[in-house]
């Protein structure tokens, strides 16, 4: 009976040790699961931010391309001098900010902004999340005749500064691009 009692008390101690060790292992695994879940949430936020930034850049670049195409179309048909008769143009005063992003927030730039519509309906189901918070806009400035290179006998060209702003899926993601674009001063002959 003594051997049996000793073995029984030893088994009880072992059962308590197994419970304690398994509780410690379960606690460690739970901490790892919580850490991995937090990491997944942070990664999802990073992916959403990158997606919004890409949408804003796409919108700004598309508005820039659309503005260039519109200026080229008007200049080819009627000449570069009448571009500002067809589009809202602005003359930037000397006190205007030189930074394009700051400039696009000024009242004069907002008043002269030309809207640009991006058709996202053709993207399909894979890119159905490409929703913009606001339509992209662009501002056109007529900078006048381009300085001619010495000895150049080419056609006269007119310079336009285009500043385009795109907004991602939320107002927190804004991209502004700026470019100077030259077009032929005279209209193309009708064919």
Whether 190 is in a domain gets the answer: no
Give tens-digit pLDDT for 94-126. Answer: 888 888 988 998 898 888 899 888 765 555 555
As for how many domains the chain has, the answer is 1
Please answer whether residues 140 and 83 qualify as being in contact, where contact means their C-beta atoms are separated by less than 8 angstroms. yes
Give tens-digit pLDDT for 32-59. Answer: 999 999 999 999 999 989 989 998 999 9
Q: Tell me what the mean pLDDT of segment 139-146 comes to.
A: 88
Instruction: Give residue for tokens 């009976």.
Output: 1
Tokens in use for 25?
């292992």
Q: Tell me what the mean pLDDT of segment 170-191 comes to.
A: 84
Other CB atoms within a 10 A radius of the CB of residue 51 amount to 15
d(CA 106, CA 145): 26
Whether 119 is in a domain gets the answer: yes
Average pLDDT over all residues of the chain: 83
Whether 58 is in a domain gets the answer: yes
Whether 56 is in a domain gets the answer: yes
d(CA 41, CA 137): 33
CB hemisphere CA count around 62 (13 angstroms): 19
Whether 191 is in a domain gets the answer: no
Which domain range does residue 57 map to?
2-184
Whether 127 is in a domain gets the answer: yes
Report the pLDDT value the prediction gives residue 1, as an integer from 0 to 100.
52
Report the pLDDT value the prediction gives residue 163, as an integer from 0 to 100.
94
């Amino acid at each position: 009976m003594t051997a049996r009692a000793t073995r029984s008390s030893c088994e009880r101690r072992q059962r308590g040790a197994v419970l304690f060790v398994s509780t410690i292992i379960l606690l460690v695994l739970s901490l790892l699961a919580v850490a991995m879940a937090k990491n997944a949430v942070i990664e999802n936020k990073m992916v959403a931010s990158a997606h919004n930034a890409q949408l804003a850049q796409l919108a700004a670049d598309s508005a820039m391309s659309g503005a260039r195409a519109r200026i080229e179309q008007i200049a080819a048909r009627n000449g570069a001098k009448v571009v500002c008769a067809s589009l809202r143009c602005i003359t930037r005063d000397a006190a205007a900010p030189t930074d394009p992003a700051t400039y696009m927030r000024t009242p004069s730039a907002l008043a002269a902004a030309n809207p640009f519509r991006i058709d996202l309906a053709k993207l399909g189901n894979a890119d159905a999340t490409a929703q913009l918070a606001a339509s992209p806009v662009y501002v056109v400035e007529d900078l006048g005749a381009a300085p001619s290179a010495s000895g150049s006998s080419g056609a006269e060209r007119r310079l336009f500064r285009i500043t385009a702003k795109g907004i991602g899926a939320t107002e927190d993601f804004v991209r502004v691009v700026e470019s100077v674009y030259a077009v032929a001063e005279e209209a193309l002959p009708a064919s």
